Amino acid sequence: MDTTVDLDTFSSLVERPDESARRAAEERWQELDRPRNGLGRLEELGAWLSSVQGRSPVRPLSAPKVVLFAADHGVARLGVSRLPAQGGTAARVRAVLDGTAPVALLARRFGAGVRVVDVAVDADAADFPGEVTEHRVRRGSGRIDVEDALSPEETAKAFRAGMAVADEEADAGTDLVVLGDLGVGATTVAAVLVGALCGTDAAAVTGRGSGIDDRVWMVKCATVRDSLRRARPVLGDQLALLGATGGADFAAITGFLLQAAVRKLPVVLDGVVSAACALVAQRIAFRAPEWWRAGQSSGEPAQAKAYDRLTLTPLQEQGITMGEGVGALMALPLLQAAADTLAEKMPELFVPAAPKEPARLPTAAELLGKL
């Protein structure tokens, strides 16, 4: 298998959102007989949606999708989470699939679809539907404090799987992705990546994750410390970093974020896991964060450090730490309201130029060869 991915390609292919559409959206508000900044954050969000859609007036959000990448992590065996290391992730996947998980309930309420992508759940693939496991890379991952999470081949495969999922969603007409994760031990891995990329020590990025007590926090902190020692020598190579101290879900999410930016598909980030992947992706394509918004602040210190580096301000302060995209999903009504408000029939203050044939955006397969 080809273990190489030309990361330099993304820097040239990721464009900035349409600044003229953003300005047109802002001008619509300024010329209307309404209080200046009367709708506060909704005005800024509406302008951002105009820019990522490349048009004004903005289109209402009609096809939002929650996309959850699921994987197990070897460090969970050290007891760094309150959730069970054996079977905990698989149980959460089943709860989403049967519609009983909070993210499934809220998605129905807000009119969003839900998709689970199993890239490394430590369970029999036959336990889940084929569409869930079609991008699976392996079962679980290595214990990153003492060994690599993935081989170079597996890292490339996971990264390309994330790119393929972004293509599938863009081709299906998804107009906004709420990005989340399912995986016991994932906040430990995220803390390692953020700590390595931000040059901080373990204590500064290790949070309470699933609600751990002081004793477990000390175990988690020591695990992050040992993993940081393994991360620092490969900081200059993002794929090597994801393979050494990440996991299949982290590699896939990073690939997803970058290809979503190439395909001009906006993304709302959830917790510390998606924030860590966004930080890795920013190293690869510096313009990519302009296609993302931070859904909420979970209170995890690593998430705060990542968003500070990304210059992203969380839309809400919900303190939701469970992952699953729940925190980001709570921001969806805010974005829907912003789109609906600016999309209402108003005096036509912006007349777009004659429509041009849209440029065809490259798929992951075209960029990197057959997946």
Which of the residues are catalytic? 324
Q: Which residue from 207, 178, 343 is spatially nearest to 267, judged by alpha carbons?
A: 178
> 57: which residues sit within 8 A by CB, 6+ positions away?
25, 28, 50, 342, 343, 346, 350
Residue 274, Ramachandran bin (φ over 0: left; ψ between -120 and 50: alpha; else beta) = alpha
Instruction: Tell me the sheet residues that pair with 116.
Output: 68
Core vs surface per residue 303-340: b (16+ CB within 10 A) or e = bbbbbebbebebbbebebbbbbbbbbbbbbebbbbbbe
Coil/strand/helix, residue 14: coil
For CA atoms 75, 193, 319, 72, give the dihedral sign. Answer: negative
Query: Amino acid letter at 290?
Result: E
Q: How far apart are CA 59 and CA 46, in angstroms?
A: 10
DSSP secondary structure string for all residues of 166-193: HHHHHHHT--EEEEEEE-TTHHHHHHHH
**Cβ neighbours of 111 (radius 10 Å):** 13
